[in-house]
Amino acid sequence: MISARAHHAIRQLTRRRGRSILTIITIAVAIAGVWMFAIPGNVRAVLADRVETDAMHTARLAPNAAPLDAGQLARLRAVDNVAALDTRTLARDDMRVEGRVEGVILVGVDDFDQQSVNIVSLGQGGFPEGSGQLVSDDSNATTGRLGAAVGDTIELRTHTGRWEAFEVAGRGGTVRYSSEVANDAPVLYLSSADVQRIMGYPAANSIDVLAEDPSPAAVDTMVTELRTVLTDELPDISYWDVLEVWRPGTWPGSEDIGNFVVVFYTIAAVALVAALVIIFTTMNTIVREQTREIGVMKAVGGTPRAIAVGYLSAALVLGTVGTAIGIGIGIPLSNRLMQFMSSEFGGTSVGWVISGLAVVLSLALGLGGTALASIPAVRHAAHITVRQAIEDHGVLASYGTRPLDRAAARFPLTSRRSQMGIRNATRRVGRTVATAVPIGLAVATLLGFAGVLLTVVEEDLRTFDLEGADLILWNRSPGLDARAGELINAVPEVAFAHPMTYSSVELDGEKYVWGLPAVSTYDNELIAGRWYSEEEDQAAARVVVVGEATANQNGIGVGDVITVETRGGPLGLEVVGIDGQLVNDGQGLFIPFSTVLDYEGRTTGNWWVRTVDRDPATVDAAATAIHETLESQGYQLESSRRYIDRDQNVRENRLIVTVVMAMGLPIVAIGMIGLVSATASNVLDRTREIGILRSIGARRRDLRVMFRAEGLVIGVLGWLMGIPAGYAMARLILYVFERRFDAAFRFQFPLWTIAIALAVTLVMTLVVMRFPLRRAVRLSPGSALRYE
């Protein structure tokens, strides 16, 4: 049994079913948003767990060939701090499935039954038994790259050009290599012997090591000792890739997740604030509408406490139902997103997780937040006197006495109906502002995310502009030599061409290296020191120009000598300059072309070409001419036209922008639900007024214009609130990004996004107002006038 007063308050909820449902939906969306908080933590926990169970390597050395016998392996395993060590054979190959040929990554495992590092575990089927069988990575199917089922056949290209058939024996994976699927290509696990045979490799080419003590200093010492042992055992050893080290708490994709965390948290927090504002407005409206009834209850002996408890119960009913639905939506939604994130960033599929923290947060915010947001309304109900309550007419009877009313009255508009709409918006300033706040938050989210993305995308595109090349040319092995350069420079459309080469080194994480001549198409912006000279380039001097972010992160200054880890081992470089451009997020290194060739053990590189007028037609003509010339001389030329790559990049960035904007949609939904709810309340509040207007000749169109004008005022107010809030949000998120990357972005907050936000706000406002307006225009004047 519950008391009559609680009954009364709760029955008000069923009396205004539409509004109660809208409030419940709002709470539910916000609570579902709370589950966003759970995602990064859960993904991290699941992947950290996976890193441990799969014994992901702490360090990987990448020798071109490591023909190690059992004794040599034992010596390596005996090095201090080595917990486990296995060799793998890694290769890039082509596969043919149902006539389709595409790239694939092959991971050769010495013995599937005796794995100690990067352990491949099975989801279905079995491990290969002998030659001719393989395991397909689980992520191949979850990412849609390769839906190989157990028993299917996949053909792999051998180094002699033949196709060899393999049967899929099982499906499984290991976190380090599964992560390659989403970023790069499908991954297949075979016996090392099979990989070496089909690729023509003499031995394993990856030494995966799990350290007992993963601290950077201990790992560095361990790696140095391993290199020494390797050089002792294999004096001619050379490396095809730099040392790969995973610091504690990191794994493939952990950084991407970190970048998304701030977006998730922002969305969740904004959704929550918006929902609380709407609950506040709704409860306020409920109490205001029932002011007279509250008076009656007090007149028959209702104490302020009893009345407050009644309304609080009603609020809690809304909160409970909304929370339950929110949790119901939040669990599958967060799990779907978690699966997406862990598979996209960590190459791992996760099972369903129900976060205890998210449940507690949902209950605390859904019930506690609702109660909190209801307090002002409940206090009003408790403290209003019987006389005030009984005499309440539900509308502000003193309109015209405030300066705001006078200001609104002077607003220049020819249509009386529009004027009435605007004045009605100023009639209840509190409600108008409360309705505008969630819209403002929605606008802020859209503008904020747009600002962040445009800034990041712009930086991305600037890389193309700074690079300054219109064509990038490379030759399948061995490379484009000086003679090729002469032929390229002889093409009339070519204004300037120079060789260059890419490389990567380890310097507190992998850093991209551009090996450029002293004069190149690259548009540097030195903030300290100088660029290296032509003499230094010719002499393959050990000098480097460091990107600003890398310099800041590592405390590098001009004149310092830094040691980077190349695939051939450590290399000392003198820092001659710091470059302020944000190429490669300011993380890049610029080393003379000849120096890079030298430490990479190469003789040739790519060529960057600047055409005479940089027009796409000229670039196409130059590409055609260069291809014809070089191919006639026996070169197997490949080229990339940068205007096409740039367009492709723009398209990809647009997709990312769209996805992130879509993540902000729940907040927009909450804002619009708030508007529907407020308009519905307005229509109810002014039902008698609608009756009067109908009585003196107002047609449906007139009512629509009136209410729409009011809605548009609220929309514009929300938009105005959203501009500074969105600016602040973008600044805050970018500040977090800048701290993460130690980079300085050129902040973008263009006016056109603000204009688009206005257009979207106005259109959405008009669309969502259709529903509550229907009731207003369909009311017959008689029922409207009799409405209590």
Interface with another protein (CB under 8 A): 395-401, 405, 408-409, 414-417, 419-420, 423-424, 426-427, 688-689, 691-700, 702, 780-782, 785
SS (H, E, C) 77-130: HCCCCEEEEEEEEEEEEEEEECCEEEEEEEEEECCCCCCCCCCCEEEEECCCCC
Write the DSSP string, 272-303: HHHHHHHHHHHHHHHHHHTHHHHHHHHHTT--
Angle at 33 between CA 28 and CA 35, to 5 degrees: 105
What is the C-alpha to C-alpha distance for residues 658 and 660, in angstroms, rounded to an integer?
6
Judged on CB neighbours under 10 Å (0-12, 13-18, 19+), 617 is exposed
Q: Are 503 and 513 in contact (CB under 8 A)?
A: yes
Q: For residue 296, give the amino acid letter.
A: V
> Cβ 720 to another protein, closest distance in Å?
22
> Cβ 12 to another protein, closest distance in Å?
17
Beta carbon nearer to another protein, 1 or 696: 696
> Cβ 427 to another protein, closest distance in Å?
6
Task: Provide the strand spans (E) within 372-491.
Answer: 471-475
Beta carbon nearer to another protein, 412 or 555: 412
> Cβ 379 to another protein, closest distance in Å?
26
> Cβ 328 to another protein, closest distance in Å?
34
Distances (CA, A) of 387 to 290, 294, 373, 379, 782: 14, 11, 26, 17, 29
Q: Which two tokens stand for residue 699?
A: 């047609």
Beta carbon nearer to another protein, 229 or 785: 785
Beta carbon nearer to another protein, 711 or 726: 711
Beta carbon nearer to another protein, 286 or 693: 693
Beta carbon nearer to another protein, 337 or 709: 709
Chain centroid to CA 694: 52
Beta carbon nearer to another protein, 389 or 422: 422
What is the bridge-based pairing of β-strands 163-173 and 239-245?
Answer: unpaired
DSSP H/E element including 629: helix 616-632
Is the alpha carbon torsion for 475, 478, 481, 487 positive or negative? negative
Judged on CB neighbours under 10 Å (0-12, 13-18, 19+), 517 is middle
What is the C-alpha to C-alpha distance for residues 378 and 376, in angstroms, rounded to an integer?
6
Beta carbon nearer to another protein, 50 or 428: 428
**Omega of the bond prior to 478 within 30 degrees of 0, cis?**
yes
What is the C-alpha to C-alpha distance for residues 282 and 276, in angstroms, rounded to an integer?
10
Beta carbon nearer to another protein, 385 or 415: 415
Which residue is listed with tokens 């050129």?
746
What is the C-alpha to C-alpha distance for residues 425 and 297, in angstroms, rounded to an integer?
31
Beta carbon nearer to another protein, 411 or 771: 411
Q: What are phi and psi of 202, to 5 degrees?
A: -75, -30
Beta carbon nearer to another protein, 277 or 705: 705
Give the 3-state secondary structure of residue 671: helix
Beta carbon nearer to another protein, 204 or 422: 422
> Cβ 20 to another protein, closest distance in Å?
19
Give the 3-state secondary structure of residue 498: strand
Count of alpha carbons within 13 Å of 754, Cβ hemisphere only? 13
Beta carbon nearer to another protein, 233 or 702: 702
> Cβ 395 to another protein, closest distance in Å?
6
> Cβ 404 to another protein, closest distance in Å?
11
> Cβ 437 to another protein, closest distance in Å?
23
Q: What are phi and psi of 92, to 5 degrees?
A: -105, 130
> Cβ 700 to another protein, closest distance in Å?
6
Beta carbon nearer to another protein, 53 or 695: 695
DSSP H/E element including 758: helix 751-778
What is the C-alpha to C-alpha distance for residues 597 and 286, in angstroms, rounded to an integer?
76
DSSP H/E element including 486: helix 482-489
Beta carbon nearer to another protein, 542 or 775: 775
Beta carbon nearer to another protein, 583 or 703: 703
Residues in CB range of 415: below 8 A, 6 or more apart: 705
> Cβ 461 to another protein, closest distance in Å?
51
DSSP H/E element including 626: helix 616-632
> Cβ 282 to another protein, closest distance in Å?
24
> Cβ 426 to another protein, closest distance in Å?
8
Residues in CB range of 672: below 8 A, 6 or more apart: 439, 442, 764, 765, 768
> Cβ 401 to another protein, closest distance in Å?
6
> Cβ 295 to another protein, closest distance in Å?
18
SS (H, E, C) 194-222: HHHHHHCCCCECEEEEEECCCCHHHHHHH
Beta carbon nearer to another protein, 355 or 681: 681
Give the 3-state secondary structure of residue 60: strand
> Cβ 398 to another protein, closest distance in Å?
5
What is the C-alpha to C-alpha distance for residues 722 and 731, in angstroms, rounded to an integer?
14
Give the 3-state secondary structure of residue 326: helix
Beta carbon nearer to another protein, 32 or 693: 693
Distances (CA, A) of 363 to 9, 319, 334, 459: 22, 9, 16, 42
Q: What are phi and psi of 764, to 5 degrees?
A: -60, -40
> Cβ 692 to another protein, closest distance in Å?
5
> Cβ 668 to another protein, closest distance in Å?
30
